Amino acid sequence: MLNTLPDLHRSFAEQLKHKIQSDSRIHSLLAGGSIVHGGFDKYSDLDFVVVVDPLYYDEIMVQRMVFARTMGHLLHAFTGEHVGEPRLLICLYGPELLHVDLKFVTMEMLTQRVEEPAVLFTRDNRALERQLAKFSANWPNMTPEWFESRAWIWLHYAVAKLGRGELFEAIGMLSFFREQVLGPMLNRRANLPQRGVRRIEFHNIDPDGLLTSTLAMHDHGSVSIAIRMAVGAYINLRADALPENIADDAARQALLTMLKEYSDGV
């Protein structure tokens, strides 16, 4: 498997594997991300799960930065609280830049996962297989009701910022809306995991250009049109699986009225 990676990635992965084999505190090394999903290229990150013996877990967690530094020229690293994953250490190595994610877990923590990992090294394959078999990987796809509960509140935020003249903020919310709502719903339409807008260009699943219609320039009129297009895109995609909490669609009508008021006032 590692032989198929670009030289920079393969060299790092092999070095990490060798390091872990010599550290008796670590039970297994697993790989995820593009290594298991496919489409790995020179732009890809390396995603690793380091399975630690429970007796040494706290010790390893304290020493994570030291551990990462032993793997190469570590330029910067930080932990993943911003994505709700404090066990994650996000690293950037150089001078040839390489992004590496190291997530430290115990065997018990493997029951909750979003993908089936590739096993690069383990001290007890049978025990690892038993643990992985206890729970199937489950990508956290959102329900139609989840989208409906949030879509109009997020779109209202964009309209309110437009009304105040905070165009960068409104444009940022449109980007967020594509990542959290429209992208996942397009993936749903194509029967793919709801991975936001990751690699969405390569899947060719937006023939009507719903996403590109929501792009805006730093201009009041452009942002107003983009928000209106985002409303239309959501309604289009919502029709694939109507949520139970649509009610009478009062939120949409109120939002469009507000948007028209702000657009006409300029």
Whichever domain contains 188, its CATH number is: 1.20.120
| Domain extent for 45 | 2-133
Gap between the Cα atoms of 172 and 194, Å rounded: 20
As averages over each run of 10 residues, the pLDDT of the chain (266 residues) reads 88 95 96 85 94 96 95 96 93 97 94 86 93 84 95 96 96 98 97 91 93 97 96 96 85 90 71
pLDDT at site 111: 82
By residue count, the chain amounts to 266
Taking the mean position of all CA atoms in its chain, how far away is CA 204?
A: 19
Q: 24 in a domain, yes or no?
A: yes
Domain total for the chain?
Answer: 2
**How much is the pLDDT for 115?**
83
Boundary of a domain, candidates 106, 133, 160:
133
pTM, to two decimals = 0.86
- Choosing from 111, 133, 155, the residue where a domain stops is 133
Instruction: Give the end-to-end CA distance of the chain in Å, rounded to a whole number.
Output: 58
Q: Looking at the structure, tell me whether residues 182 and 227 fall in a common domain.
A: yes
With CA atoms as reference, report the closest residue to 168 among 121, 127, 107, 217.
Answer: 217
Report if residue 138 sits inside a domain.
Answer: no
Looking at 113, 133, 153, the residue that finishes a domain is 133
